[in-house]
Amino acid sequence: MSLSSKIAVVGSGYVGLVAAVCFAEMGHDVICVDNDEKKVAALCGGEVPIHEDNLPELLQRYCNTRIRFMTNLAEATQASDAIFIAVGTPQSETGDADLSYVEAVASEIARSLDSYKVIVEKSTVPVYTNEWIRRVIERNGVPQHLFDVASNPEFLREGTAVEDFLHPDRIVVGANSERAARILQDIYSPLTSGAYYERRDRIPGRNSVAEPPALLLTSTKSAEIIKHASNAFLAMKISFINAVSNLCEAVDANVEQVAKGIGMDERIGPKFLRPGIGYGGSCFPKDVAAFRSVAEQMGLDFSLLAEVEKINNLQKKRFLSKVRSALWTLRGKRLAVLGLAFKGDTDDIRESPAIDMVRMLLAEGCSICAYDPAAMERARQVLPESLQMQYVSDAYTAADNADALLMLTDWPEFSRLDLDKINQALRYPIVVDGRNLYDPAAMASHGITYMSIGRPTVSPSRELASDGVDRL
Ligand code: UDX
Ligand code: UDX
């Protein structure tokens, strides 16, 4: 039976809120601190600010019992054994991570430290942040024996963050002292011992009593690099398949078959090889830039990462060219847009390639009728409703009388559309799919001209074999 720990989580955004709720689910007492009073009031009132599977249920289960929300960081610090910093680390103009929020939180924690605590970086930060947090705390007059700074990066995907937290591939703990390591090992012991997976009311997922996740103990600097290197590697995998998809288009090959073929090599693996309109979100673009910047500051040439970014940006421009090639001219065209979130199953539009695409299309003089199952409220804030930019409540209304339909986000519901209904709604039956959600042959058989990424364009008059290969 593992003991319950007292934990504070600072920052109740996508990362902090999920971590806080999952720590409560693991049996700990959690205080979640945020300096946004409105957010704290909403959370105290049971509101769920983000779209995340399992989060509403867990919040309801633990709110005001094992998890409390407050703005008072000093009180939370004094009541806790471990304080996780999960405030934002946005990208600064130079590409580095802006660590001013992390610094502000570290100073405030220092001012209220009265007994030993471990301060844990949960936000994605560049290597050496740990050292800086330590210095900031010491400068505030806190003696070394009263604290340790550890690094415990998260690998959560938005949308499935709760499941990812409770069923991780691995848990990484960077700690330079045994005391700090032990506190973190205890916090994660419900997962690493398998005890959590014995519970009947557990959140289901890939881990089990027989196969609990491993906890990898490293130095703090290694842990910081593991996080950036993981995200940079995944972004590189996506840019790689996007570059391959362009080659496939040039020679009339099919990137889906190519991705399957290379992914069957266990050394490569099938995941993160989905071509599209580029990666987005709050992490990959920011982390690739920050990792590159760290390398540059150390005098190292990591221009591979610059190429990853370049391919990602070009992918959006190539998609615009594809739309243009389907419609000849863009000015005055009415386009249906399905998807605004940076990926399916989330309401997050940060660095969304779909939003970038809409901006480019509006700049070309198109008018847009958009639908997204969860991200429209956020999208309205950056793309206000106007004659050119309209929001509707379903895919078929978006398609109504449009010159073409564009698929920009991989929401599962977009891959289950009634294609006959779409065909009838559109003024011209043209679909340009930036996420490869359909089998080209199926589209053609429903009378639709279909352009996708890295696969031959099909139109109703051209026959395709059932495997989607154009044999003309
Ligand atoms: C952010 C980063 O984007 C990510 O790289 C990092 O790993 C964790 O932090 P996210 O949780 O998505 O991820 O950020 P965001 O949704 O912006 O939430 C940050 C929260 O911190 C906000 O609720 C904000 O009000 C709060 N905050 C910010 C504080 O409580 N104190 C501060 O000084 C600054
Ligand atoms: C990512 C990491 O996966 C996670 O480990 C880290 O903690 C935070 O950053 P997230 O940003 O939620 O998570 O989304 P993810 O599912 O990784 O997708 C990121 C972007 O890449 C999305 O825009 C997505 O559409 C795109 N993507 C992903 C592809 O274009 N192709 C793929 O094969 C996979």
6-218 and 309-471 in the same fold: yes
Catalytically active residues are: 283
Using one digit for the tens of pLDDT, what is the confidence trace for 389-413? 999 999 999 999 999 999 999 999 9
Ligand number with the minimum distance to the CA of 35: 1
Is the sign of the CA dihedral 271, 277, 278, 283 positive or negative?
A: negative
Only one residue has tokens 């994605």, namely 124
Rounded CA separation 203/254 (Å) = 38
* pLDDT score of 170 more than 90: yes
Task: Work out which ligand 2 atom sits closest to the CA atom of 231.
Answer: 2
What pLDDT is attached to residue 50? 87
**What homologous superfamily does CATH list for 6-218?**
NAD(P)-binding Rossmann-like Domain (3.40.50.720)
Whether the predicted pLDDT of 470 surpasses 70: no
* Ligand 1 atom with the shortest distance to the CA of 286: 5
Distance CA 183, CA 186 (A): 5
- Domain positions in the chain are 6-218, 309-471
Strands of the sheet with 6-10, listed across from one edge: 67-70, 29-33, 6-10, 82-85, 117-121, 147-151, 170-174, 214-218
What whole-number percentage of the chain has pLDDT above 70? 97
Question: What residues flank ligand 1, with Cβ below 6 Å?
Answer: 10-16, 34-36, 39, 86-89, 101, 104-105, 123-124, 282-283
Specify whether domain 309-471 bears CATH 3.40.50.720: yes
Query: Stretch 206-224: mean pLDDT, rounded?
Result: 97
- 133 Cα: distance to centroid of ligand 1 (angstroms): 17
Q: Is the pLDDT of residue 462 over 60?
A: no
Choose the residue to mutate in 51, 283, 411 for probing ligand 2, maximizing ligand atoms within 8 Å of C-beta. Answer: 283
- Ligand 2 site residues (CB inside 6 A) read 154-158, 231, 234, 238, 272-274, 276, 279-281, 283-284, 342-343
Q: Given the CA of residue 12, which atom of ligand 1 is nearest to it?
A: 23
Residue 110 phi/psi, 5-degree rounding, is: -55, -40
Tell me how far apart the alpha carbons of residues 449 and 215 are, in angstroms, rounded to a whole number: 50
272: region left, alpha or beta (phi > 0 left; psi from -120 to 50 alpha): left
Compute the average pLDDT of residues 168-187: 97
Compare 210 and 94 and report the one with higher pLDDT: 210
Q: What pLDDT, on the 0 to 100 scale, is given for residue 3?
A: 79
Mutate to test the pocket of ligand 1, among 87, 100, 101, 162 (most ligand atoms within 8 A of CB): 87
Given the CA of residue 277, which atom of ligand 2 is nearest to it? 30
Among 96-100, 178-182, 186-190, 311-315, whose mean pLDDT is lowest?
A: 96-100
pTM of structure? 0.92
Cα(50) to ligand 1 centroid in Å equals 13
